[in-house]
Chain A
Amino acid sequence: MTSPNSQLDDMRRAIREADPQLSRFDPLPRIICLDDFDRGMCGWTQLVGNYEHSLDAMLPGYAQHSHAMLSTLPNWDFGSHGGVDGSYALKIATRPKTGAQNVAIKRLTFRKAGPIRLETYFTFKPEATELQLSETDIRSFGFLYDLQVGDQHGTGGNRVMPHLRFLNAENGVHLQKWQFKRETTPIKPIGTAGKTMTHYHLAPTDWEDLPGGEQRLCYNEIPTKVNWHYLRFDFDLATMQATRFQVNDRVFDMSTYDCIRIPAMKNLWCMLNIGFFAETDTDKRAFAYLDSVCLSGDF
């Protein structure tokens, strides 16, 4: 005889698999958000840097950021590409300068320090300013969490920032591998009130190769075509450890993976921020697109 919990799991799975929008994902029991950008920005916004008194105090890495867009992936040669389903995807575009980055962020808090699962369908490409493949023009596409323990955690609690990026190319070399980082830049105070500080966790330094993280992704023969990729990242907020990382048909070994860990800050308890980013390797805009994002938890 099956247990009530197992029956509940079976029923939940059957309902989800009957829903085409949910069936594309494999969420944990509680869906925190299912962001389909056919419904607008769904709370994804610009990552603005910290400042006090003057915007001039913002670190240049953040000052370059701009607002994400609702995009049909329009192309000059064949028109709108569209999403996995529906017309729109969230578009993150860098400026046309080598090394430029941009980030889109969603800011949440968590209600149970347990397992969470991030799933998305993504793609990326350079701006099609040249009639050639340009497969090495994107430096990286990636994602991050910005997490902090709850205020009852006690001493030793951390702000934890898991980062993963697909290093597509660097200095024109097509590298195609997943990387992570456990170091951020030194934390700098901003202004005079003693309330604001900053660091640039997306600095180009300190990225480490994920062992076995080489992956050849699908890309097309001209600079305007894209294919959508599935990504899933499992993380446990109780242990603050990654438990699984999958892209398309590949599940990567995360035994050597770690995150940026810094002492908890006095204003960020239970923070659960998610960011996706793009970086360009040439003086040409990099575009990252998210068709949809599903964040789920076990609670």
Chain B
Amino acid sequence: MLPENLTAIVARNEIWTGESATEPYEAGWAKEAIVFVRALKPPKGKLPKARIEISADGMHWAPEGSEFDLPEAENAVTFQRVAHFGNFLRVAASLPAGAEITVLVSMHFKA
């Protein structure tokens, strides 16, 4: 049987400013994930790195260690590969004053 494989859109047309993160996504069944971030509009200001965060319960989060660029132009895409993340996964970013990005975030999981 083919392994389970899922594309989940976890943020769609969401405007990120300040402390921002995707909603907790539970995917303990998956061995690996790729997280894609696409800018739906031209971003504003100086963008920070985004970080992958993991959690046992969806409430208490720890940085997984991976950091990656946010897309700097409309429709540009960045991504991060993640493995061995346990249960809950999210993308978080701390945007400085004046920075803003409208994101489409998808997570692609494989068992």
Binding site for B on A (CB under 8 A): 40-41, 46, 48, 55-56, 58, 63, 66-67, 69-72, 74-76, 88, 91, 93, 95, 127-129
Q: Do the beta carbons of A67 and B25 come within 8 Å of each other?
A: yes
Which residues of B, 48-85, contact A by the 8 Å Cβ criterion?
A: 56-60
Which residues of B, 23-38, contact A by the 8 Å Cβ criterion?
A: 23-29
Q: Name 8 extra pairs, CB < 8 A, besides A63-B12, A69-B25.
A: A46-B8, A55-B12, A70-B6, A72-B28, A74-B26, A76-B59, A91-B26, A128-B57
Q: Output the least CB separation between B41 and chain A (Å).
A: 9
Binding site for A on B (CB under 8 A): 4, 6, 8-13, 23-29, 40, 56-60, 87
Q: List 18 A-B contacts (CB under 8 A).
A: A40-B4, A46-B9, A55-B40, A63-B12, A66-B9, A66-B10, A67-B9, A69-B25, A70-B6, A70-B26, A75-B57, A76-B56, A76-B60, A88-B29, A93-B24, A95-B23, A127-B58, A128-B57
Cα–Cα, bound, A156→B21 (Å)? 48
List chain B residues, Cβ under 8 A from A66: 9-12, 23
Q: Do the beta carbons of A58 and B28 come within 8 Å of each other?
A: no
Partner of B27 from the list A58, A70, A95 (CB cut-off 8 Å) is: A70
The A contact surface, by secondary structure, is loop
- Most chain A CB within 10 A, of B24, B26, B87, is at B26
Cα–Cα, bound, A93→B40 (Å)? 24
- A58 with B13: in contact, given A41-B6, A127-B59 (CB under 8 Å)? yes
| Residue in chain A with minimal CB distance to B5 | A40
List chain B residues, Cβ under 8 A from A91: 26
Cα–Cα, bound, A79→B64 (Å)? 21
Cα–Cα, bound, A1→B39 (Å)? 71
A-B pairs, top 10 by smallest CB distance, nearest first, are A67-B8, A55-B13, A76-B57, A69-B26, A71-B26, A40-B4, A70-B29, A66-B23, A67-B9, A74-B87
